Amino acid sequence: MKNFVLLILSFIIFNFGYSQVIQDWSASVAFTDTNSFNSNPVVTAIPEYGMGSLFMFYEKTATQGSDHWIWWKKISDPQSEEEMLIGGFEFVDYRNPQIVYNDYLIFESNALDYYNLFAVKVDEDGLVPGEFYQLTYSQTDIEYFYASSGFYTPVGCWIENGDLMVADIVLNSDSLFFTNIEVLDSGNCFDPVCRHDYIAWRKLVNNESHIYFSERDYGNAPWSEPDTICATGNNIHLSISRILEDDGWTVCWENDGNVYYYDINGWSSPTTPDWPEIDNFYEPSAFHLVIIVDDLPELYSFAGEAGSNRDIYIVDQMWSGELKNLTEDLHFNKNPRLFQGRLYGYFYEVVNIWQTEINGYDVLFGSQATYTIGNVNDEMSSTRFDVMVYPNPVKDHIAFEYPNSDYQNFNLSIFNNQGEIVLQKSDNKEIFYLENIDLQSGVYFYTLKSNKLLKASGKFVVK
């Protein structure tokens, strides 16, 4: 059945295409202070998945070895301040936040002796009233917890006394529960990552760090016996890609100054980028920019070392994309992670968050880009055209002018930054001229369709 579904998806991909960037990667912004250690960020949109405000949850500690607490910040608002969400008790850690079902937070804590997993619901005001509750009752410490995301029932995986544990995460009556808990592999396991039907992890074998995996058909099907993806060398910094509103299908890792990307469907061998200007590659992350399926990530990021500089790079398209340096500073930059941001109308955000060492502390920085959702494969991209938008910035009028063509039935849609349609107009003329527009100051996005097919998209600013 799984192979049949993959075959169908392979066929469908020819009718869908790549997203196109309409707002390129922004200048990097510091999300946290510069006098603490910040790590393990996760991102979600609240109150509604894909809409609302964009929040980052992360781990903060004042000094190396001191208590770990969970903080949060509304990163969609440049004026917002970071706030402590869970913490404040001496000798009690709250660490490694993970988000499931968009607004449920799972984290590790030793509040009741051993490190176990706890959960709490959050909203745009912080913790939903009510105490957090315990999900596991281990008599040994739990660590490296990771939760999948996407349309399917989330899967959680973690390490317990060196063993790899896995469970389905079920939401019932506003509370989370673990079901189908099992030991997937025993001894010397580290750093698991997962999606609903696939788990990868590191395992120490003969003083080397190998990459293992297990998979299952969706539902209550059993997990397969552990097998290897890479059984040579010292493989570290394992991650799994993400995709628009779902889990990704690329496993990434670092080995001996290079990074590798592996399609979990087995459609290709591990792939490594080749950029002569980069001496060493570290800590890869990936994001898929397609609607249905592909074998390699269209967007990938890594920490790159060129001479004495260590910057964060991002590339759009594995083989032909442009190498972009998001930092270009004299600091030591590391651990980029790619997340989906808000989804609104025909657009969605991708957010890159990384650590920058400043004065001996780890500061979380970020950058983001906006992409279209649309069928823009090779055949259709040849029929898209450029649109002149003027004036830009806008005061009280704006024009959308496109070249003379045989296309008809044009429809113009304008969206605010919350994804709401604020204006629509249909016409057969070669120019849309809008007078006396009543829009608040800010960034707006537009799409232009002909006979229901996307022909152009972009943004403009209203003063």
Average pLDDT over residues 89-114: 94
Judged against a pLDDT cut of 90, whether residue 73 lies above it is answered with: yes
- pLDDT value of position 418: 59
> Residue 124: is its pLDDT beyond 60?
yes
Question: For the residues 49-55, what does the mean pLDDT come to?
Answer: 75
> What pLDDT is stored for residue 53 in this prediction?
87
Rounded Cα distance between 307 and 314, Å, is 18
Q: Which domains does the chain show, CATH number per domain?
A: 2-372 (2.130.10.10), 385-462 (2.60.40.10)
Rounded to whole angstroms, the Cα distance separating 131 from 134 reads 10
Mean pLDDT of all residues in 66-82: 93
Minimum mean pLDDT among 22-26, 191-195, 277-281: which range?
22-26
> Is the predicted pLDDT of residue 268 greater than 80, yes or no?
no
Residue 158 CA to residue 221 CA, distance in Å, equals 20
402-438 confidence digits (pLDDT tens) = 765 665 678 888 887 656 778 888 887 778 888 888 8
How many residues can be counted in the chain?
A: 463
pLDDT at 388: 83
pLDDT tens sequence across 298-335: 789 999 999 999 999 999 866 567 899 999 999 999 99
> How far is it, in rounded angstroms, from Cα 388 to Cα 366?
31
The structure tokens 């809008």 sit at 434
Strands 29-30 and 361-372: antiparallel
Strands (E), 326-416: 332-344, 347-358, 361-372, 388-390, 398-401, 410-415
Do the Cβ atoms of 347 and 320 come closer than 8 Å? no
Residue 292's nearest CA partner among 41, 5, 3, 9 is 9
* Confidence tier at 9 by pLDDT (50, 70, 90): very low
pLDDT category, 292, cuts 50, 70, 90?
very low
- Least Cα distance to 117 among 102, 105, 130, 134 occurs for 134
Tell me the pLDDT band of 104, cut-offs 50, 70 and 90.
very high
Tell me the whole-structure pTM to 2 decimals: 0.81
Q: In degrees to the nearest 10, what's the CA dihedral of 287, 155, 45, 62?
A: -90
pLDDT at 391 over 60: yes
The better pLDDT of the pair 47, 19 is held by 47
**E-strand stretches of 173-322:** 175-185, 189-195, 198-205, 208-215, 227-230, 235-243, 246-255, 258-263, 280-288, 299-306, 309-316
> Average model confidence (pLDDT) for the chain?
85
Phi and psi at residue 46, in whole multiples of 5°? -130, 140
